[in-house]
Amino acid sequence: MQFKRITLCVALAAAPNAFAAETATLDEVVVTAPAMEQPLVVTTDPRKPRQPVPAHDGADYLKTIPGFSVIRKGGTDGDPVLRGMAGSRLNILLDGEHILGGCGNRMDPPTAYVFPSSYDKITVLKGPQTVLHGPGNSAGTVLFEREIKRAEQVGTRFKGALTLGSFGRNDEMLDVSSGSEQVYAQGTLTRSDANDYSDGNGQAVHSSYTRWSGNAAFGYTPDDNTRVELTAAKSDGKAAYADRAMDGVKFARDNVGLKFEKRRMGGTLDSIETQLYYNYVDHVMDNYSLRTQAGMKMVSNPDRETAGARAVAGLSLSDATYAKVGVDYQSNKHTLRSTMNQATTPYELLPRAEDANFRNYGLFGEMTHDMAEDSRVIGGLRMDNWHAEDRRAAMLAARDANNVMYMVANPTSGQSRDKTLSSGFARYERDYDASTFYAGIGHTQRFPDYWELLSANKESLTSTSAFNTNPEKTTQLDIGTIYKAGQWSASVSGFYSKVNDFILIESGVAKAGPVRTITVTRNVNATTWGAEAGLAYQLASDWKLDGSLAYVHGTNDTDGVALGQMPPLEGRVGATYDNRVWSVGGLLRMASAQDRFAVNQGNIVGQDIGRTGGFGVFSLNGAYRVGKSAQISAGIDNLFDKNYAEHISRRGSAVTGFTTTARINEVGRNLWVKANVEF
């Protein structure tokens, strides 16, 4: 076996006690998956070293959690998939804020603007089992959160990180916090860079990227239960894509936010939370900056403005009953400008044309009632009022089978839609001596998003516009148990879902008129079911075995075929030795063959290509702690240089100088070293 180019890395972090009661003790490398410790909730620390080492973006971190997969497009900016569901079926919030990408072909999903090492916690809420965090969460909700503890004395905390690895991987992170009991300031800088990686066959994949971000927070904390915080963020970067004819050369984000929190007020009104935010995304893609281009230089420049607000009141209705009620608001405007020849018609000189406008008002309430010391019921209701506008022109450009451009009429130009949708859930939880059982049912109605209605000139089966696609209605049963006693811990969660008017994206559909194929948005009925399971056994004080399984099965009931873009059965088995000074671990990830597929059918991110075979990938890691606050870790991912691709990976595109593959292959053998320090 031939090793690829290797680079080593060091990461540093420092944290005096000004913002914590005691010095943090660094934990082991995360190998198999973070455990589910409460019903349908998984929490993980994105700053811990983990194997396989993720890319810098949010999607690659999520794929370490059972039930998640990632649709690969290149080295970064993949789309996260939970239980086979992608796009706006999965709510992504950054410190309570929604951010929506600009690219009509999902070059920049929300997780593309997530730099995980700048967050303290990632929380996953599986299924439609909450109404607190926005509409449409039929698959679940992901919260990227920062936590700032009120200082007990004046002080300054420093954290820093530097990561270098195979294929030129180079990540840096610097986090500085300073303050007193009443005021604080925090700043976080991140940067991540990588060259094109090679797959298990040694073939280079067009996948290089460079990304950076800066976040700042200024807060006032007059007491332990009150906080006013002003935040700002800025980020940018570039990324090469192996699945399309263009690359991303600008991912600029500008953000400002304001929060107010008041907790433990002592009366029926126990808490108040309010939040205002503004996100602006300016995205540029072209076909020449990051690849060889002999023809015309083409550029597309979409942008999106998203503004939002949220207010929540916590109500202590009795010793046994607690509720949260609130309202939220979100509006976003999408514009686009493009040029077929940057040399003669620079895109910077062209006016922006608005093509879409969305607005939503939400009203929600969620309540927890303790039936007894060991049992409780949780439920919630939500109403959303949607407004959408088709701002596209009356005539749209299209191409025939010979790539000749012509114009087609847009019958919904200038039209608007208004819809009021409802969602709700109810869940029962019961604690036993060493376990918790839960069962819940949830229903959510999801308004079609920009990518389903408007982007890339999607059509319906009967019209040249998909603007009137029906909202999606999901009803899902979730059931499971969590067990922990002695040396054993385990969790099992299963779900069964019926989806009416599932929004299916189908490519390659023949259309009357000029000989051409189109991408169609249409409603079908669908059924999905599946499960995730985790098991851990502490062999001895220093030895631990753990494993996980995840499976999802989807059927397009209308067409009588498999539902597209369903990942196969996946299992992980890990073993770790950790004596609190030295640790060593191994991870075997296995995926079965996927024989259930629907060619050219899927979601806004991608469509099925065909059958895929199974694979197994083995990885190793080790770590050394230097006292309580320093740790050096290293690993080899894909030790045996396996060549493989995920079933839901995007199709490979012809890029000059690179081998075109059926799917985007995953990374081959990958070596990394990392060091963390906290004091």
Cβ–Cβ under 8 Å, residues 259 and 275: yes
Domains and CATH numbers, the chain: 17-677 (2.40.170.20)
**Each residue of 564-581: pLDDT tens digit?**
999 999 999 999 998 888
Cβ burial of 368 (10 Å; 0-12, 13-18, 19+) is: middle
* Interval 618-635 mean pLDDT: 87
- Report how far residue 214's alpha carbon sits from residue 44's, in angstroms, rounded to the nearest whole number: 22
Which residues, other chains included, contact 462 with Cβ-Cβ below 8 Å and sequence gap of 6+?
none
pLDDT over threshold 80, residue 481: yes
Torsion of CA 596, 597, 603, 607, to 10 degrees: 150
Mean pLDDT of all residues in 393-415: 85
Task: Look up residue 612 and give its amino acid.
Answer: T
Q: What is the dihedral of CA 678, 232, 328, 100, to 10 degrees?
A: -90
Residue 217's SS3 state is strand
| Angle (CA) 234 91 599, round 5° | 110
Q: What is the DSSP letter of 13?
A: B
H/E stretch holding 62 reads helix 58-62
Helix (H, G, I), strand (E, B) or coil at 116: helix
Is the per-residue pLDDT at 90 higher than 90?
yes
* pLDDT confidence tier of residue 9, bands split at 50, 70 and 90: very low
Average pLDDT over residues 536-545: 92
pLDDT of 242 > 50? The answer is yes
Residue 19 dihedral angles phi and psi, to the nearest 5°: -115, 15
Q: What is the per-residue DSSP string for 367-402? A: EEEEEETTEEEEEEEEEEEEEEEE-S-SEEEEE-TT
Identify which of 17-21, 43-47, 523-527 has the greatest average pLDDT. 523-527
Q: Residue 510 — pLDDT band, cuts 50, 70, 90?
A: confident
- pLDDT beyond 80 at 386: yes
Q: Are 280 and 316 in contact (CB under 8 A)?
A: no
User: What own/partner pairs with CB < 8 Å and gap ≥ 24 does 395-404 have?
Assistant: 396/457, 396/464, 397/457, 398/457, 398/514, 398/516, 398/518, 399/516, 400/514, 400/515, 400/516, 401/514, 401/515, 401/516, 401/517, 402/515
Interval 252-278 mean pLDDT: 96
Least confident of 168-177, 330-339, 349-358, 505-514: 505-514
- Residue 513: per-residue pLDDT: 67
Cα-Cα-Cα-Cα torsion 567, 565, 88, 70, nearest 10 degrees, comes to: 50
pLDDT value of position 33:
64
- As beta bridge partners, residue 269 has 315
Helix, strand, coil percentages for the chain (3-state, nearest 5): 5, 55, 40
Tell me which of 216 and 580 has the higher pLDDT: 216
pLDDT of residue 159: 84
- Cα 628 to Cα 582: distance, rounded to the nearest angstrom: 12
Decide if pLDDT at 6 tops 70.
Answer: no
> What average pLDDT does the segment 454-482 reach?
93
How many Cβ atoms sit within 10 Å of the Cβ of residue 210? 16
**What is the average pLDDT score of the chain?**
91
pTM: 0.93
Residues 278, 249 contacting (CB under 8 angstroms): no
Span 23-50, average pLDDT: 74
| 413-449 pLDDT tens trace | 999 999 999 999 999 999 999 999 999 999 999 999 9
pLDDT beyond 50 at 537: yes
Task: Give the pLDDT confidence score for residue 148 in this predicted structure.
Answer: 82
- Across residues 156-170, what is the average pLDDT? 89
* Confidence check: pLDDT of 12 > 50: no
Residue 17: band (very low, low, confident or very high) from pLDDT cuts 50, 70, 90: very low
Q: What percent of the chain has pLDDT over 90?
A: 77
Whether 549 has a pLDDT exceeding 90, the answer reads: yes
pLDDT at 73 over 60: yes
- Give mean pLDDT, residues 447-455: 95
Portion of the chain with pLDDT greater than 70, in percent: 94
DSSP structural state of residue 243: S
Q: What is the DSSP string of 410-476?
A: -TTTT-EEEEEEEEEEEEEEEE-SSEEEEEEEEEEEE---HHHHTGGG-B-SSSS--TTPPPEEEEE
